């Protein structure tokens, strides 16, 4: 089954505390993974961003919101214990969701009234995602918006500028290394099917040949175009080629490249991948804002003694 959302974890987590014992956050993962019949692979699944395991993060957020709703207490850092309000909810599970949402919403409305602005907590109570997931989703949405803007901008420029752009991009990606003038845009007319060249070594024995097509997004590159490029590589006595487009390739084009023998190495880069590379390698872009997310340094705080009273 799919990894449960943080709000789906809340009631089972509260039930685990119904014996009145204090539990640390990491003591919930194993019993809750059994409750939801998760495989070890699902328990270990990481966020695409690499920011830790998904299930473990959702368990922690579930506990955090149970605490904010006032149905569990935290006798000491990282430790949870059910209280009287929580015990009442355990005996009346049909009221659980309404009670938690109402308590969190009341808490957030009180904050808004006091500070006159919407808090991140309110956003979460109206969303299935944890704050970390919502932030990551927003970040991905912003990136995709920039990707679209990049392609639109490229399409508004000349084909010659596009050829220069892709050569510069491959250099940014590390091809050509520290070699002076490693990237070359071929002459505009009679280019023999080659738009750019990257020298891989100082003497120029190793070369990567580039074909660049600035096509509208609904005009895909055909198999015939790739075959002509392979022919151009043969004339240049090279087996390394990169075909880059602002649109995409047909299935026939992809299948043809996959069928080439190992002596011919052709890489296809479509518009989506092109925009992603331009973004990742920061070509023609500037940083608008940096958001710094912090978490507790457990090694630092664990050196301090817990108050046992």
- pLDDT, tens digit (0-9, with 9 covering 90-100), for 160-206: 999 999 999 998 998 877 666 777 788 765 557 798 988 877 766 77
Closest CA to 217 of 194, 245, 185, 195: 245
Which ranges constitute the DSSP H helices of the chain?
A: 6-16, 29-35, 40-44, 54-68, 84-90, 96-115, 120-125, 131-155, 159-172, 223-235, 251-259, 271-280, 298-302
Residue 114 pLDDT > 60: no
Residue 122 pLDDT > 50: no
pLDDT at 120 (0 to 100):
47
pLDDT at 124 (0 to 100):
46
Residue 49 pLDDT > 50: yes
pLDDT at 113 (0 to 100):
54
Residue 93 has which token pair? 């599970």
pLDDT at 174 (0 to 100):
87
pLDDT at 112 (0 to 100):
52
Q: Which listed CATH number (3.40.50.300, 3.40.1350.10, 3.90.550.40, 3.40.50.180) goes with 151-280? A: 3.40.1350.10
pLDDT at 244 (0 to 100):
97
pLDDT at 304 (0 to 100):
83
State the span(s) of the chain assigned CATH 3.40.1350.10: 151-280
Residue 226 pLDDT > 90: yes
Residue 107 pLDDT > 80: no
pLDDT at 303 (0 to 100):
82
pLDDT at 126 (0 to 100):
47
> For residues 69-92, b (16+ Cβ closer than 10 Å) or e, as one string?
bebbbeeeebebebeeebeebeee
pLDDT at 170 (0 to 100):
92
CATH hierarchy code of domain 6-129? 1.10.10.10
State the span(s) of the chain assigned CATH 1.10.10.10: 6-129
265 forms beta bridges with 240
* Distance separating alpha carbons of residues 309 and 301, to the nearest angstrom: 18
Report, as an integer, the average pLDDT of 114-143: 64
Q: Mean pLDDT lowest for which of 21-30, 86-95, 132-141, 177-186? A: 177-186
> For residues 251-281, b (16+ Cβ closer than 10 Å) or e, as one string?
eebbebbeeeeeeeebebbbbbebbbbbbeb
């Amino acid at each position: 089954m799919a990894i449960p959302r943080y709000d789906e974890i809340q009631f089972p987590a509260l039930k685990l505390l119904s014996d009145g014992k204090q539990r640390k956050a990491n003591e919930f993962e194993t019993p809750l993974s059994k409750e939801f019949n998760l495989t070890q692979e699902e328990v270990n699944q990481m966020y695409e961003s690499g920011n830790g395991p998904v299930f473990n993060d959702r368990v922690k957020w579930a506990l955090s919101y149970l605490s904010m709703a006032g149905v569990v207490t935290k006798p000491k850092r990282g430790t949870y214990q059910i209280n009287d309000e929580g015990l009442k909810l355990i005996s009346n599970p049909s009221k659980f969701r309404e009670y938690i949402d109402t308590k969190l919403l009341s808490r957030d409305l009180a904050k808004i009234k006091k500070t006159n602005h919407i808090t991140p907590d309110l956003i979460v109570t109206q969303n299935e995602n944890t704050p970390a997931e919502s932030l990551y989703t927003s970040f991905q949405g912003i990136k995709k918006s920039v990707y679209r803007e990049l392609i639109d901008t490229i399409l508004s420029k000349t084909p010659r500028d596009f050829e220069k752009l892709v050569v510069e991009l491959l250099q940014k990606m590390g091809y050509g290394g520290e070699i002076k003038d490693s990237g070359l845009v071929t002459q505009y007319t009679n280019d023999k099917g080659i738009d750019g060249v990257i020298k891989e070594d100082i003497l120029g024995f190793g070369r990567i040949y580039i074909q660049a097509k600035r096509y509208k997004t609904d005009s895909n590159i055909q198999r015939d175009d790739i075959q002509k490029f392979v022919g151009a590589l043969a004339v240049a006595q090279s087996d390394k080629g990169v075909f880059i487009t602002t649109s995409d390739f047909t299935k026939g084009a992809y299948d043809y490249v996959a069928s080439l023998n190992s002596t011919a190495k052709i890489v296809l880069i479509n518009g989506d991948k092109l925009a992603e590379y331009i973004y990742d390698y920061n070509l023609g872009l500037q940083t608008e804002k940096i958001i710094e997310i912090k978490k507790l340094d457990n090694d630092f705080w664990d050196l301090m003694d817990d108050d046992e009273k």
